[in-house]
């Protein structure tokens, strides 16, 4: 970990690989008057909108919608089974299991044609008092149990003992995008009317604690976090059903789940503050987390060490090395496919556009993990067997 002083504010960075745009965004974050204590940057850092992905921002009395992002509640879940991967015939894997998952779970921009049962939606929220969520209750019945696009994935994996695992990366679908955009726009308008000292050019408009708008965002954000979990849980249930149809007698351990795009009210260095994790995972002491690699590389089940300097956080994955457009433009499809097929991984790279999610577009997950061994300890290393990308 390296400490930099930027605009007289300390920034703790767990990598020496930070792209120029991300570094500019880090500098912008240090100008926020409500920034608390220091800024923490994880080893998977790369540029985002307003705030870099892989950043942890603690604030005094304010929430910043763009410091959470638009895929609110996006995260990981994983399940271990009692089945050995070596006992699954390749044809069963390809034609029954992978095909069955694709039939049950809409990918990319696709939604369910038929509404899903409302029992799958979050409970315990006052939806009638919300703005965006209230108006999306019918739409999200088609979105629940769907993967989404971009870097979202379903992956079958194996551990060192050849046990089959299932891992899912997905979020709150269009709901989170609409909530994030609505409240960022609202914050921008309010900041302009207040003649806020936060420049609109850095895209970090905020909502102060105690305002009606803060409370509105906070409640809708929490709903999106819960919706994202419900979304992952429904997909996992259906994947388990597909596996049970093909692998008679398979059993599953309880699901591990953790989000990496949200804000939380926490106590750090003796003060209650609002911690934003944007592409960062909670790593409080003893908490089980998930740090996935890129397509074709290892993923990790980890345990948090509770390092206060990171606000008890760690990376959320490998982190992009190339932008999507740069990956499509510069990576060699033959070489990227060869990497996967040499490992016997069932994959979905079919054309040049698919290279935006190739392993060559991402940082080395082994290096990322090595850079944060003061934040987490590794519990399980998982290797990919088959992957479905959104």
- Give yes or no for residue 344 having a pLDDT over 80: no
Looking at 111, 276, 316, 347, which residue is catalytic? 316
pLDDT band at 327 (very low <50, low <70, confident <90, very high): confident
pLDDT, average across residues 244-263:
97
DSSP letter at 309?
G
- Give yes or no for residue 345 having a pLDDT over 80: no
pLDDT band at 145 (very low <50, low <70, confident <90, very high): very high
Rounded to whole angstroms, the Cα distance separating 385 from 383 reads 7
Which of helix, strand or coil describes residue 144?
coil
At residue 358, the pLDDT reads 73
pLDDT, average across residues 369-377:
97
**8 Å CB contact between 27 and 35:** no
pTM score:
0.93
Buried b (16+ CB within 10 A) or exposed e, 168-205: bbbbbbbbbbbbbebbbebbbebbeeeebebeeebbbb
Residue 37 annotated in active site: no
**8 Å CB contact between 46 and 22:** yes
**8 Å CB contact between 357 and 295:** yes
At residue 89, the pLDDT reads 94
Encode pLDDT of 119-141 as tens digits: 999 999 999 999 999 999 999 99
Encode pLDDT of 68-96 as tens digits: 999 999 999 999 999 999 999 999 999 99
Q: What residue ranges do the domains of the chain occupy?
A: 2-321+362-389, 322-361
- Give yes or no for residue 351 having a pLDDT over 90: no
pLDDT band at 249 (very low <50, low <70, confident <90, very high): very high
pLDDT, average across residues 201-207:
97
At residue 123, the pLDDT reads 96
At residue 242, the pLDDT reads 97
CATH superfamily of 2-321+362-389: tRNA-splicing ligase RtcB (3.90.1860.10)
Which of helix, strand or coil describes residue 314?
strand
Which of helix, strand or coil describes residue 251?
coil
Rounded to whole angstroms, the Cα distance separating 359 from 34 reads 38
Rounded to whole angstroms, the Cα distance separating 166 from 156 reads 5
- Give yes or no for residue 150 having a pLDDT over 80: yes
Q: Give the residue carrying structure tokens 């919300």.
A: 130
Which of helix, strand or coil describes residue 306?
coil
For all residues of the chain together, what is the average pLDDT?
93
- Give yes or no for residue 326 having a pLDDT over 80: no
At residue 315, the pLDDT reads 97
């Amino acid at each position: 970990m390296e400490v930099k002083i930027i605009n007289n504010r300390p920034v703790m960075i767990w990598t020496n690989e930070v792209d120029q745009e991300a570094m500019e965004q880090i500098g912008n974050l240090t100008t926020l008057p409500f920034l608390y204590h220091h800024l923490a940057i994880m080893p998977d850092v790369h540029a985002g909108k307003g705030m870099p992905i892989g950043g942890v921002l603690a604030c005094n009395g304010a929430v910043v919608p763009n410091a959470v992002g638009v895929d609110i509640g996006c995260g990981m879940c994983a399940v271990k089974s009692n089945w050995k991967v070596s006992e699954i015939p390749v044809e069963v894997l390809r034609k029954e299991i992978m095909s069955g998952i694709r039939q049950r779970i809409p990918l990319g921009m696709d939604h369910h044609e038929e509404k899903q049962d409302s029992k799958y939606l979050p409970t315990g929220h006052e939806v009638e008092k919300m703005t965006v969520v209230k108006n999306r209750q019918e739409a999200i019945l088609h979105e629940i149990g769907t993967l989404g696009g971009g870097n979202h994935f379903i992956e079958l994996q194996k551990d060192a003992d050849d046990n089959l695992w299932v891992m899912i990366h997905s979020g709150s679908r269009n709901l989170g995008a609409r909530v994030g955009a609505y409240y960022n726009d609202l914050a921008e308008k309010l900041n302009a009317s207040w003649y806020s000292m936060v420049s609109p050019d850095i895209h970090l408009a905020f909502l102060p604690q105690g305002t009606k708008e803060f409370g509105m965002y906070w409640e809708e954000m929490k709903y999106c976090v819960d919706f994202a979990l419900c979304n992952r849980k429904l997909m996992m249930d259906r994947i388990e059903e597909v596996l049970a149809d093909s692998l008679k007698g398979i059993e599953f351990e309880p699901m591990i789940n953790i989000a990496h795009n949200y804000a939380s009210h926490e106590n750090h260095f003796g003060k209650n503050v609002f911690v934003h994790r944007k592409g960062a995972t909670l790593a409080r002491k003893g908490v089980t987390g998930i740090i996935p690699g890129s397509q074709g590389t290892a993923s990790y089940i980890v345990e948090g060490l509770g390092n206060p300097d990171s606000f008890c956080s760690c990376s959320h994955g490998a982190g992009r090395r190339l932008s999507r457009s740069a990956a499509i433009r510069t990576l060699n499809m033959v070489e990227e496919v060869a990497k996967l097929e040499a490992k016997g991984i069932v994959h979905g790279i079919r054309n040049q556009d698919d290279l935006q999610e190739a392993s060559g577009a991402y940082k080395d997950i082994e290096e990322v993990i090595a850079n944060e061994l003061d934040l987490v300890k590794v519990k399980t290393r998982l290797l990919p067997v088959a992957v479905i990308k959104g």
